[in-house]
Chains A and B, each alone.
Chain A
Amino acid sequence: MAEIKIKSVAKRFGKVEALKSIDLTIADQEFLVLLGASGCGKTTLLRIVAGLETASEGEIWIGDKRVDQLPPRDRGIAMVFQNYAVFPHLTVFENIAFGLRMAKVDQATIEKRVSKTAELMHIEALLKRYSGQLSGGQRQRVAVARALAMEPEVLLMDEPLSNLDALLRMEMRAELKSVLAESKTTTIYVTHDQVEAMSMADRIAIMNKGEIVQASDAVDIYRNPAHRFVGSFIGNPPMNFLPAKPRSEDTWSVAGVKLSGPNHNAAASASSVEFAIRPEDLIPVSEASEDAFTAQVRVIEPLGSHVLASCMVDDQLFRVVVDSDKSLQQGDTLYVKPMYDRMRWFDSSTERSL
C-alpha cells in the first residue's frame, strides 16, 4: 500500500514562492502525471515528495506514514532525475544495479533485474560502457532503468523521456505504461508534454505558477477545464476565448452572437465572463445568421486530415478546425456555429469555470 498524500505543501526559496499550498492525493498504484509549463514548480514538488527538499509548510504522507522527517532512503521511493544523475564512475550495469547493491540484494537477482530493465529500455548493448560514452538519450534511459530495477512502491519520474527522439519516445511511453500497469507501483510522472500526459496518465494534475489548478482524467481535463489556464494550455490548438456581455437572465452576447449560458445571478460575482470553445467544436454554416460567428480567415494550415484556420472574430484570435474537403483561402469569411454542449464559461476575475 503506497498512497501518497500531499497536504497543504508550500515552498519558498527566499522570496520566490515556488509552491503555494498544494493538496493532492495519489491513490495506491495510480499513475499520476504532473503537467505544467517549465518553471511552474513540478520538479520542486517531486523533490519534496522524495525528501531532497524540505517543504516550507505542509505534510507528506506515504502509505500510513508521515515522511516529512525521513531521509529519502527511508521513504521507499525510486526516482528518475530531470538531469539524469547517472554516476560517471560506474558502468551502465553498475548504475542500474546501484540501488539493489545498496539494498544488499543477491548477485543472481541483480543480474536478472538489470538485464530485464536494460532490455526494456533498449540499452542491453551498453551495459559495459561508462556514462561519458553515452548520448543524452541513452543516459536518460539508464536513469529510468536504474529506477525501474528497484521495483519500488513509489516511483517518481521527472521528465524521463524528454531527451528521446519522437519515435523512441512513443515506444518507451507504451513500454513504461505497460510495465507500470503490471507492477504495484504508485507513480508520479512529471512532464511538460501534454500528449505524453494524456497518453499515459490515469489522472493528470495540471500545475500553473505553483498551484494545482485541476486534477482529473484526460478527457475531463480536455472537455471540462476547471480553470481558464487549463483550457489555454491543453489541446493543440488550445481553446478559443471571447468576452461575453450579459443580455437577459441566462443569455449572453458573444461577438454579437446570442448564446445561452450560465444564469446571471450565479455569475453575479463575476465582474466579467468569458466564453470558451474548442476549435474543433465549431460547425461551419453556409451563411451569416444570428447564432453563428463571423470569422475572417487569416492563416490556413492544412494538416492532412483537417485544416486549421486562424481567424479573427471581433479583433480576437479565433481558431477553427474544419474538414480538409472544405476549400478555404486567406481572406475568406467563415461562419461557424458553436456546438452547444461544448461551450464553456469562465469568470475572468477568478479564472474559474462557471
Chain B
Amino acid sequence: MYPRSLPYLLLLPSLALLAVLFLYPFVLVAWQAISDDGGQFTTAHFSEMLGHWKFGTAFTNTLLLTLAVVPIQIALALYMASLVTGMSRGRDAFLYIWTIPLGISDLAAGIIWLSIFEQTGFLNTFMVGLGFSEQPETFLGYQNKGTIFLAIALAEIWRATAIVLVILVAGMGLIPKEYKEAAEVFGASRWQQFTKVTLPLLKPSLQTAMILRVILAFEVFAVVAALGGTNMPILMGEVYNWQFVLRDANVAAAFALVILGISILCTLIIMWFLRTPKGATL
C-alpha cells in the first residue's frame, strides 16, 4: 500500500503546468474582455461585440451548425457502433477504415470538400460530364447560403463522426451481452433491446461523446473558413477576425468568452440529461 496522498502528489506537476499554461492565460483573456487600457472594469467590449451586425449571425450560425451536425453524428455513430459490435470478424478493419478522417486536419478536410463543391470541382465536372446540368453551378457562392451550410455540415460529419464512433464502440464493448439476451427472452424487439437496454447502459459514453462533439462544434473554424469564407460568419471566425484583422484583442476576448459560456452551459445540460442515478451503473 502506498500513502493516500501519493496520487495527488504525482498529479501535482501536471496541475501546475495546467495552471501556468491554461488557467493563467485564461484569466488574462477574461480580464482583457472586461477591462479598458487603464485597467478599469468596463462592459464596452461586450457592448461593441453585441452591437456589431455580424454577432447575431455568427451566433445563430454556430448554434445551427451544432444542432445540425451533432445529432446526425451521434445517430450515425450509434448505428455504426451497433453494426461493428455485432460483427464477429473484421471489426478492427472496419474501425480503422472509418477512423481515417480523424487523421486529417480540419483545414485539409475543408479543402478536400472545397475541391468537391468548387465551380471547377469534382461535383460540377461529374454533373456536366454526365449531362445532368448545362454548365458548372456556383454551389458555394454568396447567394447560396443554404448550400454552403450543407457543404460545411457534410464536411464536419465526414470528418468528425469517427471520434464519436470510437467512444461508442468502446462503451458498447463494456456492456455484457447477457443484458441483451435477457431483454430478448423477455420479449423485447431488436429496436426495444436497443432503446431499453443498450442506450441507457451506454449513457456514460454517450455523455462523453456528446460533450466532446458539442464543444468542438462550437469551436469549428477551418472547415468553415475553407468552404464558406466570409459568407458564413461563425463565432470562432469572429475571434480570429477581431484579433488579427481588426486588431482589437478586447472584443476578440469577449467573443472567446461567449464560446466558453455556451460550451459550459451545454456541458451542464448534457450532464444533467444523461445523468445516471446512484447505484444504476454497470
B partners with A: yes
Residues of A that sit less than 8 Å from B by CB:
50-52, 71-73, 77-79, 81, 83, 85, 87-90, 98-99, 102-103, 129-133, 146, 150
Residue in B186, B188, B201 whose beta carbon sits within 8 Å of that of A89 in the complex: B201
Residue in B178, B192, B278, B282 whose beta carbon sits within 8 Å of that of A102 in the complex: B192
Query: Which residues of B sit under 8 angstroms from A90, Cβ to Cβ?
Result: 280
Query: Which residues of B sit under 8 angstroms from A50, Cβ to Cβ?
Result: 185
CB <8 Å contact, B185 and A79:
yes
B87 to chain A, nearest CB (A): 18
Further contacts, 6 of them, CB under 8 A, given A88-B201, A133-B279: A72-B181, A79-B185, A81-B181, A89-B197, A146-B186, A150-B186
Query: Which residues of A sit under 8 angstroms from B192, Cβ to Cβ?
Result: 102
A220 to chain B, nearest CB (A): 33
CA distance A86 to B280 in the complex (A): 11
Query: Which residues of B sit under 8 angstroms from A88, Cβ to Cβ?
Result: 179, 201, 280-282
A244 to chain B, nearest CB (A): 49
Q: What are 10 sample pairs from A and B whose C-beta atoms fall under 8 A apart?
A: A72-B181, A73-B185, A73-B187, A77-B185, A79-B182, A85-B178, A88-B179, A88-B280, A88-B282, A130-B277
CB <8 Å contact, A130 and B185:
no
CA distance A93 to B187 in the complex (A): 17
Chain B 171-203: CB-based contact to A (< 8 A → 1; otherwise 0): 000001011011111111100100011001101
Most buried by A among B187, B189, B280, B282: B187
Query: Which residues of A sit under 8 angstroms from B201, Cβ to Cβ?
Result: 88-89
CA distance A129 to B280 in the complex (A): 9
CA distance A272 to B192 in the complex (A): 60
CB <8 Å contact, B184 and A71:
yes
Query: Which residues of A sit under 8 angstroms from B203, Cβ to Cβ?
Result: 89
A/B pair count, beta carbons within 8 Å: 69
Most buried by A among B183, B203, B277: B183
B85 near A: Cβ within 8 Å? no
A247 to chain B, nearest CB (A): 58
CA distance A79 to B178 in the complex (A): 12
Question: Given contacts A88-B281, A130-B277, A130-B279, is CB(A73)–CB(B189) below 8 Å?
Answer: yes
CB <8 Å contact, B279 and A78:
no
Interface size on B, residues (CB 8 A): 25
A340 to chain B, nearest CB (A): 51
Chain B 200-228: CB-based contact to A (< 8 A → 1; otherwise 0): 11010000000000000000000000000
Question: Given contacts A130-B280, A132-B279, A132-B280, is CB(A87)–CB(B179) below 8 Å?
Answer: yes
Query: Which residues of A sit under 8 angstroms from B186, Cβ to Cβ?
Result: 73, 78, 98-99, 102, 146, 150
Chain B residue with Cβ nearest A53: B181
B276 near A: Cβ within 8 Å? yes
CB <8 Å contact, A81 and B277:
no
A30 to chain B, nearest CB (A): 21
Query: Which residues of B sit under 8 angstroms from A85, Cβ to Cβ?
Result: 176, 178-179, 181-182
Query: Which residues of B sit under 8 angstroms from A87, Cβ to Cβ?
Result: 179, 182-183, 197
Query: Which residues of A sit under 8 angstroms from B185, Cβ to Cβ?
Result: 50-52, 72-73, 77-79
B275 to chain A, nearest CB (A): 12
Query: Which residues of B sit under 8 angstroms from A81, Cβ to Cβ?
Result: 178, 181-182
Chain B 246-282: CB-based contact to A (< 8 A → 1; otherwise 0): 0000000000000000000000000000001111111
CB <8 Å contact, A73 and B181:
no
Query: Which residues of B sit under 8 angstroms from A98, Cβ to Cβ?
Result: 182-183, 186, 196
CA distance A50 to B184 in the complex (A): 10
Chain A residue with Cβ nearest B282: A88
Most buried by A among B178, B183, B184, B186: B186
Most buried by A among B185, B197, B280, B282: B185
Query: Which residues of A sit under 8 angstroms from B279, Cβ to Cβ?
Result: 129-133
Chain B residue with Cβ nearest A132: B279
CB <8 Å contact, A102 and B187:
yes
Chain B 119-133: CB-based contact to A (< 8 A → 1; otherwise 0): 000000000000000
Query: Which residues of A sit under 8 angstroms from B200, Cβ to Cβ?
Result: 89
CB <8 Å contact, B281 and A103:
no
CA distance A81 to B179 in the complex (A): 10
B282 to chain A, nearest CB (A): 5
Query: Which residues of B sit under 8 angstroms from A129, Cβ to Cβ?
Result: 279
Can you list the 7 inter-chain pairs with the closest CB atoms, starting with the nearest?
A102-B187, A99-B186, A130-B279, A85-B182, A132-B279, A85-B178, A133-B279
